[in-house]
Amino acid sequence: MTGTFVAVVGPSGAGKDSLIRFAQEHLGDQICLVRRVVTRSADGNAEDHDTLDPEGFLAAEAQGAFALSWAAHGLRYGLPITLERELDRGRVVVANLSRGVLPELLERYPSAVVVYILADASVLAERLLRRGRETPAAVQRRLGRRVTGDPFPAGTIIIDNGGSLEVAGSRLVRVLRELAETAARAPQPD
Protein backbone atom coordinates (compact mmCIF):
# COMPACT_ATOMS: atom_id res chain seq x y z
CA MET A 1 0.00 0.00 0.00
CA THR A 2 1.42 3.34 -1.02
CA GLY A 3 -0.96 5.61 0.86
CA THR A 4 -0.72 6.94 4.40
CA PHE A 5 -3.09 5.99 7.18
CA VAL A 6 -3.56 8.87 9.64
CA ALA A 7 -5.03 7.78 12.98
CA VAL A 8 -6.60 10.65 14.91
CA VAL A 9 -6.73 9.59 18.56
CA GLY A 10 -7.34 11.15 21.95
CA PRO A 11 -9.69 11.10 24.89
CA SER A 12 -13.45 11.45 24.51
CA GLY A 13 -14.35 15.11 24.24
CA ALA A 14 -11.00 16.19 22.80
CA GLY A 15 -12.74 17.23 19.57
CA LYS A 16 -11.40 14.62 17.19
CA ASP A 17 -14.49 14.63 14.98
CA SER A 18 -14.67 18.43 14.97
CA LEU A 19 -11.04 18.66 13.87
CA ILE A 20 -11.52 15.99 11.21
CA ARG A 21 -14.55 17.90 9.83
CA PHE A 22 -12.51 21.13 9.87
CA ALA A 23 -9.74 19.41 7.89
CA GLN A 24 -12.23 17.98 5.39
CA GLU A 25 -13.73 21.43 4.83
CA HIS A 26 -10.28 22.86 4.10
CA LEU A 27 -8.73 19.99 2.17
CA GLY A 28 -11.67 18.42 0.34
CA ASP A 29 -10.65 15.43 -1.73
CA GLN A 30 -6.95 15.84 -0.91
CA ILE A 31 -7.72 13.43 1.94
CA CYS A 32 -10.02 10.45 2.31
CA LEU A 33 -12.07 10.30 5.51
CA VAL A 34 -13.04 6.88 6.79
CA ARG A 35 -16.62 6.67 7.99
CA ARG A 36 -16.75 4.45 11.06
CA VAL A 37 -19.36 1.81 11.72
CA VAL A 38 -20.68 1.98 15.29
CA THR A 39 -23.26 0.02 17.28
CA ARG A 40 -24.90 3.30 18.30
CA SER A 41 -27.64 5.10 16.42
CA ALA A 42 -26.51 8.28 14.72
CA ASP A 43 -27.89 11.48 16.18
CA GLY A 44 -27.22 15.20 15.85
CA ASN A 45 -24.82 15.20 18.80
CA ALA A 46 -22.60 12.35 17.63
CA GLU A 47 -20.10 11.82 14.89
CA ASP A 48 -21.38 11.12 11.42
CA HIS A 49 -21.15 7.33 11.25
CA ASP A 50 -22.83 4.25 9.89
CA THR A 51 -24.85 2.19 12.34
CA LEU A 52 -25.16 -1.56 12.77
CA ASP A 53 -26.89 -3.39 15.59
CA PRO A 54 -24.57 -5.59 17.66
CA GLU A 55 -25.55 -8.78 15.84
CA GLY A 56 -25.09 -7.19 12.42
CA PHE A 57 -21.74 -5.80 13.50
CA LEU A 58 -20.49 -9.20 14.67
CA ALA A 59 -21.65 -10.78 11.41
CA ALA A 60 -19.89 -8.11 9.34
CA GLU A 61 -16.76 -8.51 11.44
CA ALA A 62 -16.80 -12.31 10.94
CA GLN A 63 -17.10 -11.76 7.16
CA GLY A 64 -13.97 -9.56 7.11
CA ALA A 65 -15.82 -6.29 6.49
CA PHE A 66 -13.50 -4.30 8.76
CA ALA A 67 -9.84 -3.40 8.44
CA LEU A 68 -9.85 -2.74 12.18
CA SER A 69 -12.50 -3.18 14.85
CA TRP A 70 -12.64 -2.69 18.61
CA ALA A 71 -14.88 -2.32 21.63
CA ALA A 72 -15.02 0.79 23.82
CA HIS A 73 -17.57 2.34 26.16
CA GLY A 74 -20.00 -0.55 25.68
CA LEU A 75 -20.05 -0.13 21.89
CA ARG A 76 -18.38 -1.78 18.90
CA TYR A 77 -16.51 0.26 16.29
CA GLY A 78 -15.16 -0.73 12.89
CA LEU A 79 -13.31 0.81 9.97
CA PRO A 80 -14.48 -0.61 6.62
CA ILE A 81 -11.94 -2.75 4.77
CA THR A 82 -12.63 -0.57 1.71
CA LEU A 83 -10.19 1.99 3.15
CA GLU A 84 -7.44 -0.23 1.77
CA ARG A 85 -8.50 0.59 -1.81
CA GLU A 86 -7.76 4.24 -1.03
CA LEU A 87 -4.41 3.35 0.53
CA ASP A 88 -3.59 1.28 -2.58
CA ARG A 89 -4.34 4.38 -4.66
CA GLY A 90 -1.75 6.35 -2.67
CA ARG A 91 -4.29 8.43 -0.73
CA VAL A 92 -4.03 9.94 2.73
CA VAL A 93 -6.70 8.10 4.70
CA VAL A 94 -7.89 9.73 7.94
CA ALA A 95 -9.82 7.94 10.70
CA ASN A 96 -10.92 8.58 14.27
CA LEU A 97 -9.45 5.65 16.14
CA SER A 98 -9.39 4.39 19.70
CA ARG A 99 -6.03 4.70 21.46
CA GLY A 100 -6.42 1.10 22.57
CA VAL A 101 -6.34 -0.24 19.01
CA LEU A 102 -3.07 1.49 18.05
CA PRO A 103 -0.99 -1.70 18.42
CA GLU A 104 -3.23 -3.47 15.87
CA LEU A 105 -3.15 -0.42 13.59
CA LEU A 106 0.63 -0.28 13.61
CA GLU A 107 0.91 -4.01 13.03
CA ARG A 108 -1.38 -3.82 9.99
CA TYR A 109 -0.18 -0.40 8.73
CA PRO A 110 3.39 0.07 10.04
CA SER A 111 3.85 3.46 8.36
CA ALA A 112 0.68 4.93 9.91
CA VAL A 113 0.89 8.46 11.29
CA VAL A 114 -0.65 9.01 14.72
CA VAL A 115 -2.14 12.40 15.61
CA TYR A 116 -2.98 12.70 19.30
CA ILE A 117 -5.60 15.33 20.17
CA LEU A 118 -5.65 16.53 23.76
CA ALA A 119 -7.43 19.05 25.97
CA ASP A 120 -7.57 19.77 29.71
CA ALA A 121 -9.79 17.48 31.79
CA SER A 122 -12.16 20.34 32.58
CA VAL A 123 -12.64 21.05 28.86
CA LEU A 124 -13.21 17.35 28.15
CA ALA A 125 -15.79 17.07 30.94
CA GLU A 126 -17.65 20.17 29.75
CA ARG A 127 -17.80 18.91 26.18
CA LEU A 128 -18.96 15.43 27.19
CA LEU A 129 -21.68 16.81 29.46
CA ARG A 130 -22.84 19.13 26.68
CA ARG A 131 -23.36 16.10 24.42
CA GLY A 132 -26.03 14.92 26.85
CA ARG A 133 -25.43 11.21 26.22
CA GLU A 134 -24.02 10.41 29.65
CA THR A 135 -24.56 11.23 33.29
CA PRO A 136 -21.89 13.20 35.17
CA ALA A 137 -20.76 9.94 36.83
CA ALA A 138 -20.46 8.22 33.45
CA VAL A 139 -18.46 11.17 32.12
CA GLN A 140 -16.04 10.87 35.05
CA ARG A 141 -15.64 7.13 34.39
CA ARG A 142 -14.99 7.85 30.72
CA LEU A 143 -12.39 10.48 31.58
CA GLY A 144 -10.76 8.05 34.01
CA ARG A 145 -10.24 5.43 31.31
CA ARG A 146 -6.59 4.61 30.89
CA VAL A 147 -4.96 2.87 27.98
CA THR A 148 -2.50 0.27 29.17
CA GLY A 149 1.06 0.32 27.96
CA ASP A 150 2.57 3.02 25.76
CA PRO A 151 0.75 2.71 22.45
CA PHE A 152 2.11 5.94 20.95
CA PRO A 153 4.83 5.42 18.36
CA ALA A 154 7.80 7.71 17.96
CA GLY A 155 6.83 10.70 15.86
CA THR A 156 3.30 10.98 17.22
CA ILE A 157 1.98 14.45 16.41
CA ILE A 158 0.33 16.18 19.36
CA ILE A 159 -2.34 18.85 18.88
CA ASP A 160 -3.88 20.73 21.80
CA ASN A 161 -7.56 21.35 21.09
CA GLY A 162 -8.37 22.99 24.42
CA GLY A 163 -8.90 26.39 22.84
CA SER A 164 -9.97 27.64 19.44
CA LEU A 165 -11.07 25.06 16.89
CA GLU A 166 -9.48 27.21 14.17
CA VAL A 167 -6.04 27.08 15.81
CA ALA A 168 -6.03 23.31 16.38
CA GLY A 169 -7.81 22.68 13.08
CA SER A 170 -5.25 24.72 11.15
CA ARG A 171 -2.48 22.63 12.69
CA LEU A 172 -4.20 19.41 11.60
CA VAL A 173 -4.77 20.85 8.12
CA ARG A 174 -1.02 21.65 7.82
CA VAL A 175 -0.09 18.10 8.84
CA LEU A 176 -2.55 16.48 6.43
CA ARG A 177 -1.72 18.87 3.57
CA GLU A 178 1.97 18.02 3.90
CA LEU A 179 1.18 14.29 3.83
CA ALA A 180 -1.11 14.76 0.80
CA GLU A 181 1.53 16.77 -1.06
CA THR A 182 4.14 14.12 -0.33
CA ALA A 183 1.75 11.42 -1.56
CA ALA A 184 1.04 13.42 -4.75
CA ARG A 185 4.76 13.53 -5.56
CA ALA A 186 5.22 9.78 -5.00
CA PRO A 187 5.03 7.38 -7.94
CA GLN A 188 1.45 6.15 -8.23
CA PRO A 189 0.60 2.46 -8.45
CA ASP A 190 -0.55 1.04 -11.77
What does each of the 190 residues of the chain score in pLDDT, given as a tens digit? 689 999 999 988 888 989 999 999 999 999 999 999 888 776 655 556 778 889 999 999 999 999 999 998 788 999 999 999 999 999 999 999 988 899 999 999 999 999 999 988 777 778 777 776 777 787 777 667 665 555 678 889 999 998 899 999 999 999 999 999 988 787 665 5
How far is residue 179 CA from its own chain's centroid? 16
The burial class, CB within 10 Å (0-12 / 13-18 / 19+), for 180 is buried
Q: Which of 98, 95, 99, 100 is nearest to 82 (CA)?
A: 95
DSSP letters of the chain? Answer: --SEEEEEE--TTS-HHHHHHHHHHHHGGGSEEPPPEESS---TTS---EE--HHHHHHHHHTT-EEEEEEETTEEEEEETTHHHHHHTT-EEEEE--GGGHHHHHHH-TT-EEEEEE--HHHHHHHHHHHTSS-HHHHHHHHH----S--PPTT-EEEE-SS-HHHHHHHHHHHHHHHHHHHHHSPPP-
Answer yes or no: CATH 3.40.50.300 is held by domain 4-184: yes
DSSP string for 7-26: EEE--TTS-HHHHHHHHHHH
pLDDT of residue 44: 54
What's the confidence (pLDDT) of residue 25? 96
Q: What is the pLDDT of residue 40?
A: 78
pTM: 0.84
**What distance in Å separates the CA atoms of residue 15 and residue 153, rounded to the nearest whole number?**
21
| Residue-range domain boundaries for the chain | 4-184
